[in-house]
Structure formats: C-alpha cells, structure tokens
Amino acid sequence: MQYIWINPVVKQMYDKEVLESLLERHGYQQVSCRQDWGYYVCDSYGRLAEVSGVPVADVRCPSVSKLLRENYKQSPLLIPEIEPILIHCAREISERTELKGKKKLIITPCQALARMGTQCQLPDTCFLTWKQFLIEIKEHPKAKQLNASPIPPGFFQSLNCPSISITGASEICTYLEKNRFKNTGVIELLWCRDGCHHGDGVINLE
C-alpha cells in the first residue's frame, strides 16, 4: 500500500467517489493532516506583523519567494522564513510513526512546490504535481473547472492588521516596484492569478 496526500485544489476538481476509485485502482490510500496547518501559517504571519515594524511579505508561493529573495532583499519588507502550508503538511505526514518506512506521495498544484518539497529530502516522501501523477498512472479522469481556489486570495483578512492581496506575476512585480506598501501589515502574493487552481501542475480546462 502506498499513501497519498492530495492538495485541496485537486480534491475539489473531482467527485469524491471518482477520486477514491482512481486511487484505489492504483494502490493508493489517502492520508490527511491532524493539525490545521493553514491556521498555523496564518497565525505565524500575524505574529510577525505585530512586531516587525515593516510589512511582511507572503512567501507561501515558492515562485514569489524566489523573486523576493533575488530582487527585493533591500526593499522595506520582511521576507520571513515561513514554509508553505503544503510543506508543513508534508512534514507531518513524513514523520507519522504509523507511516514510517512506507512510501508517501504528496500531490502539489504546481511544479515550484514539487521542486521545493523534493529539496526538503523528507524520508520515504515524494512530491509530484497532479499532472505528473496522471501521466505516471496513465489515466485522465474527467475534472471540474474550478472558478475559484479552495484557498482564495484574502487568506490574511482575519488578522488584526491591514492586509492586501496581489495575484499574478506581472501585477506582483508592478506592485513591488511602486513600493507603496508602507501601511500594510501582511502582503499576500500569489504568482498564479486568482489562486493556485491556475497552477501549472493541475488540469487546465480553459
């Protein structure tokens, strides 16, 4: 038996029965996290914003993190060392006592997260995009077109500090170059416009 963790984007693309049947045919059993890592990550940003004195940049997206660290280190932003939610989930799954020594597969919505996960070198844990996984198992089940991400822009709105959401690569670069974020607590930055359901690792039905 192999174990698989599937991100929320992919889960919403299929009826539950279709997804479960697909995985069962190929010897995979779904696993889920016991801790709410979304809450943990959001709270971590909120705590930083309370004490940083400068706006905190959202680095949940590896492509955004790379852009910031390569081109905006000197800007008045805090670029935090907070891992994406998916990586937190993968670490929990990889460390489970009952799954020790068993193959674990983490499905990502984009290639950037798959590369980042692979670089973590978690024991018995592999990272693949959903597209890569379907190629490997040679199946292409009918998917739904998602009009919105399961984790939509506005992730930080619950925090007690001003936040703003910028999505899309060109929009992010334009926003950062204008340097107009002085009164913002947390700046949400998503490389894929409108959210991860437009990631390069999921099925694009448009």
Q: Tens digit of pLDDT per residue, the chain (206 long)?
A: 899 999 999 999 999 999 999 999 999 999 999 999 999 999 999 999 999 999 999 999 999 999 999 998 878 899 999 999 999 999 999 999 999 999 999 999 999 999 999 999 999 999 999 999 999 999 999 898 888 888 889 999 999 999 999 999 999 999 998 877 778 999 999 999 999 999 999 976 55
CA atoms within 13 A on the CB side of 33: 19
Largest CA distance in the chain: 53
Task: Find out whether 85 and 60 touch, Cβ atoms under 8 Å.
Answer: yes
CB count within 10 Å of CB 14 equals: 18
DSSP assignments along 90-144, one per residue = HHHHHH-GGGTTS-EEEEESSHHHHHHHHHT--TTEEEEEHHHHHHHHT-----P
User: SS3 for 188?
Assistant: strand
The strands making up 186-190's β-sheet, listed across from edge to edge, are: 56-57, 186-190, 163-167
User: SS3 for 176?
Assistant: helix
Which two three-digit tokens encode residue 199?
């990631």
Per-residue pLDDT at 205:
59
Apex CA 200: angle with CA 65 and CA 44, to 5°? 35
> Which CA distances in Å does 93 have to 54, 126, 153?
34, 11, 26
Q: To which H or E segment does residue 190 belong?
A: strand 186-190
CB count within 10 Å of CB 22 equals: 16
Domain ranges of the chain: 2-198
CB count within 10 Å of CB 206 equals: 4
CB count within 10 Å of CB 79 equals: 16
CA atoms 128, 130, 132, 137: torsion sign: positive
The pTM assigned to this predicted structure is 0.94
